[in-house]
Amino acid sequence: MSIQITKQGIMDTLQDKGRYGFQHIGIPPCGYLDYLSAQLANVIVGNPKEAPIFELHFPASSFIFNEAHTICISGANFVPVLNDKSIALNTPIQVSKNDTLHFIQPLLGKTSYLSIKGNIDSIAWLNSKSDFSSHIKTNDQFNIIEWDGETKINSNKTEEEESQQYSIDKIQKHIFNSNEIRFIPGPQWNDLTNESILNILNQTFNTSLNSNRMGYTLKGPSLQLNEQKSYLSSAVTRGTMQLLPNGEVIVLMANHQTIGGYANIGQIILVDLPKLVQHKSDTPFRFSITNVETAQSEYKQMQKCFS
């Protein structure tokens, strides 16, 4: 069984939960940007929540299915079209041999996920199938990806599916209906001027177009340190808010460098990171401070959607 990419999207990749255990030699962890939507798409087709999945950005890749498959699209809504009919998000969809899938418009969000029931037949590198480069690795010049799929689909609405609908709504609402992004202050928080601290907490920010799998650059009030100084590099992680010398904040994402020498003013909490990932540049958001306990408890609460 296989899927063919007929048009390669410029930033599309295959991702799983990421590559851990190698950051001490400078290897970025990679992995899903919006892990909640990726896990959701996986669970809906019956895959393990941390299975490899296609991560798509607009303009996204186009696909042709060489066999029947069960698929699901979650996350951003790029208006997916199967052959010539638009299809629903967050729903298992049965596709047949020679069906085509393409995406026509970035309606909501920035990152979409396409799950396919079964296992992708690709080689893991350092325990992960996440693409390191900015394109989908394919087997040959025909852009074919082998997928060991299953196509059985349960058409009876069961209790399990009803509870799944509840989870879908909860996750969608969390990611797309909130303009508040929470963070925990970082080691250099106290090096910020008082005015900058007030700006972070009271002004709005936008994501800029200069945002990718390495990091999201924010537009907002310019932030300053009490004194311009350089810091010795230390480890950063996904969600780290680095203050650049020009006063801009960059939030590190999955493909981040492992250590960094800019001021680390805070970390966006994991459960809120998908909100930022999906935030388009025209919708402002606000920051608020939280703590480790709240962050961890909400993360675990949200993960219960997948159990």
Partner 1 sequence: MIHYFIIMTKNFSNINWKAQALGDHAIQFYVPEKMDPAMISEIKCFHDFIFSQQLKEIKDIIPSYHTLTLIYDIELLNAPLDFANDLIEKFARRRKTEVAATAVNKIIEVPVCYDEIFGIDLISMSTKLNLSTTEIIKIHTENVYQVYCLGFMPGFAYMGDVNTKIQTARHAQPRKNVYAGSVGIAGAQTGIYPMHSPGGWQIIGRTPLKIFDKDPAILSKFNMGDAVKFYPITRAEFDSLNENELH
Describe the chain by its helix, strand, coil percentages, rounded to 5: 20, 35, 45
Strands 285-289 and 180-185: parallel
- Alpha carbon distance 262, 240 (integer Å): 10
Closest alpha carbon to 253 in 230, 273, 227 = 273
State the nearest-atom distance from the C-beta of 228 to partner 1, in Å: 15
Contacts of 173 (CB under 8 A, 6+ apart): none
Residue 240 identity: T
Residues in the chain: 307
> Least separation, in Å, of the C-beta of 113 and partner 1?
21
Q: How far is CA 188 from the centre of its chain?
A: 27
CB of 239 to partner 1, least distance (A): 6
- Residue 179 or 234: the one with the smaller Cβ distance to partner 1 is 234
Shortest Cβ 94–partner 1 spacing (Å): 33
* Closest to partner 1 by CB, 127 or 179: 127
Q: How far is the CB of 300 from partner 1 (least distance, A)?
A: 7
**For residues 158 and 230, which CB has a smaller minimum distance to partner 1 in the complex?**
230
Which of 10/126 has CB closer to partner 1? 126
Which spans of this chain sit near partner 1 (rule: CB under 8 A)? 20-29, 125-126, 183-187, 189-190, 231-235, 237, 239-240, 257-260, 264, 266-270, 289, 291-292, 295-296, 299-300, 303
Residue with Cβ nearer partner 1 (73 or 305): 305
